[in-house]
Amino acid sequence: MKVTIYGSGYVGLVTGACLAEVGNEVLCVDIDPDKIERLQRGEIPIYEPGLERMVEENSRAGRLRFTLDPAEGVAHGLFQFIAVGTPPDEDGSADLQHVLAVAGAIGEQLQEYRIVVNKSTVPVGTADRVRERIGQALAGRGVQVEFDVVSNPEFLKEGAAINDFMRPDRIVVGTDNPRTAELLRALYAPFNRNHDRLLAMDIRSAELTKYAANAILATKISFMNELSNLAERLGADIEQVRVGIGSDPRIGYQFIYPGAGYGGSCFPKDVKALERTARDCGYHAELLGAVENVNERQKQVPFTKLQQHFGDLGGRTIALWGLAFKPNTDDMREASSRVLMEALWAAGARVRAYDPVAMEECGRLYGERGDLVLCDSAMAAVDGADALVVITEWKEFRSPDFFQIRDSLNEPVLVDGRNIYDPAQMATMGYTYYSIGRGPRQ
Ligand code: NAD
């Protein structure tokens, strides 16, 4: 089948590569000339495990192509996927300008029947606005062309995106046209073989399903972070509590890790956008506001621990392990590392940072500055620092040479923002060890 995808970011590029991998002819359209040029050269602008090989092989086979030209995009695919960004607007609502720009471009070029599939995370009612925008463009041209608008939210996780797309837990298709649902079922058939995971529903429910999924995951994290702060004050160990509650199958072990807050391009913006949607329809979504507030506060915890230990942080040097918002990605959008670095800089401290893949992204975000040194290795980062903070739980940080770290630091102070180390072991090795929610000293 022929597929066009607007937006070649984490979602669009993964969708394009996976659809090409199973034999479809995919054309990716983006407005970023640099990105398209790099992709045409076979260079991947983002880090996502397994993506490079897939893009390279499918491009070579001619099944995956890239263009800046929306007219070519509209002419190519029966399916027109919208996978552009929906960043938060100033008031927290989702900024739909990119989605509506694609809708306008489709309307300006449409010649024959197309299925417009919205993969971006968008507020309930956006499919109507997309339909309207395409309709307006058609009316402006004085033509009538049939088209459908479908909501097909994406649930992939950065860092495991290929596997999530290839073996989805569910494929949500929101449409009011049964024929369109069947065409999407055919497109998704290669990813839906083991048992039927395609959930066809009405458009508004599909749009809300995506927000509901992210909001409940964010709620689990904020709940655990709230309890970790309580555990700390009560002298309890949140890690033991975590295992204690996770053993109940109604609760489960997944996604109940306390830490330094959630980040990324989805949870923060989607929780805010859902709260905003609620407000727009006259409902005060109290829980959603609390989830977000708890998270904002939690991102400050590593800084507060450093401040409590050192007092004035002016002139101190802090080693930071992890910049990406989570392991296996280079994405630093809303990352906890950024909150920490910015607080340290404001307090007059310097940062020596290391991340296995997000160094380039960090350089792009912050440029050259005297109070940030991007180090070549984890060990180089701790060299001569006053303390080490671990903020992203990359595998390579799990079992480091603690003796070498201790000897490289001016003071053996370790703030573990993800609870990946054992407090007893840290104490035996002479560290002053702070973690999240594990007793009064930690
Ligand atoms: P991204 O910022 O990585 O990529 C968006 C791309 O869209 C950019 O390359 C940008 O240049 C391009 N773009 C903007 N306007 C365009 C236009 N008019 N025509 C063509 N291309 C255009 O974003 P992302 O992380 O891939 O997210 C895309 C959407 O998917 C968002 O709504 C997001 O909430 C949702 N989503 C993201 C994830 C994730 O893990 N990143 C997961 C599920 C859903």
pLDDT score recorded for residue 20: 98
**Angle, helix 238-246 to helix 203-234, in steps of 10 degrees:** 140
Cβ(233)–Cβ(177) below 8 Å: no
As a whole number of angstroms, the distance between CA 288 and CA 278 comes to: 10
Cβ(317)–Cβ(34) below 8 Å: no
Q: How far is the CA of 252 from the centre of ligand 1 (A)?
A: 31
Structure tokens at 284: 């005060």
DSSP code of residue 314: T
Q: How far is CA 254 from CA 119, 224, 246, 288, 345, in A?
A: 25, 12, 8, 20, 35
**Fold adopted by 203-442:** Rossmann fold (3.40.50)
Q: How far is the CA of 12 from the centre of ligand 1 (A)?
A: 7
Per-residue pLDDT tens digits for 310-328: 999 999 999 999 999 999 9
Residue ranges in the chain whose pLDDT is less than 70: 440-442
Report domain extents, the chain.
2-201, 203-442
Q: Does this chain's domain 2-201 share its CATH topology with 203-442? A: yes
Q: Which residues are catalytic?
A: 266
Cβ(386)–Cβ(316) below 8 Å: yes
pLDDT score recorded for residue 442: 42
**Angle, helix 286-299 to helix 301-310, in steps of 10 degrees:** 40
Three-class secondary structure of residue 287 per DSSP: helix
Return the exposure string of 340-359: e unless at least 16 CB atoms fall within 10 Å of the residue's CB, then b: bbebbbebebbbbbbbbbbb
Annotated binding site: 30, 35, 86, 121, 155-158, 210, 255-259, 263, 269, 326, 333
Q: Give the distance from CA 250 to its chain's centroid.
A: 26
User: In a mutational test of the pocket of ligand 1, which residue from 18, 28, 39, 84 has the highest number of ligand atoms less than 8 Å from its CB?
Assistant: 84
As a whole number of angstroms, the distance between CA 203 and CA 334 comes to: 29
Q: Give the distance from CA 417 to its chain's centroid.
A: 19
As a whole number of angstroms, the distance between CA 106 and CA 110 comes to: 6
Annotated binding site for NAD(+): 30, 35, 86, 121, 158, 269, 333
Three-class secondary structure of residue 167 per DSSP: coil
Q: How far is the CA of 133 from the centre of ligand 1 (A)?
A: 19
Q: Give the distance from CA 254 to its chain's centroid.
A: 17
User: In a mutational test of the pocket of ligand 1, which residue from 30, 74, 119 has the highest number of ligand atoms less than 8 Å from its CB?
Assistant: 30
As a whole number of angstroms, the distance between CA 56 and CA 289 comes to: 43
Q: Is the ipTM of this complex over 0.90?
A: yes
pLDDT score recorded for residue 281: 95
pLDDT score recorded for residue 440: 60
H/E segment holding residue 406: helix 402-408
Question: Ligand 1 atom closest to Cα of 121?
Answer: 32
* Strand intervals (E) in 253-368: 317-321, 350-354
Structure tokens at 45: 């602008």
Q: How far is the CA of 23 from the centre of ligand 1 (A)?
A: 23
Annotated binding site for substrate: 155-158, 210, 255-259, 263, 326
The domain 2-201 is placed in CATH, from the list 3.40.470.10, 3.40.50.720, 3.20.20.70, 3.10.20.30, at 3.40.50.720
User: What lines the ligand 1 site, CB under 6 Å?
Assistant: 6-12, 29-32, 35, 83-86, 98, 101-102, 120-121, 154, 156, 158, 265-266
pTM: 0.94
Burial (Cβ within 10 Å: 0-12, 13-18, ≥19) of residue 421: buried
pLDDT score recorded for residue 90: 87
pLDDT score recorded for residue 410: 98
As a whole number of angstroms, the distance between CA 29 and CA 284 comes to: 39
Cβ(329)–Cβ(335) below 8 Å: no
pLDDT score recorded for residue 34: 97
* Strand intervals (E) in 205-288: none
Per-residue pLDDT tens digits for 226-280: 999 999 999 999 999 999 999 999 999 999 999 999 999 899 999 999 999 999 9
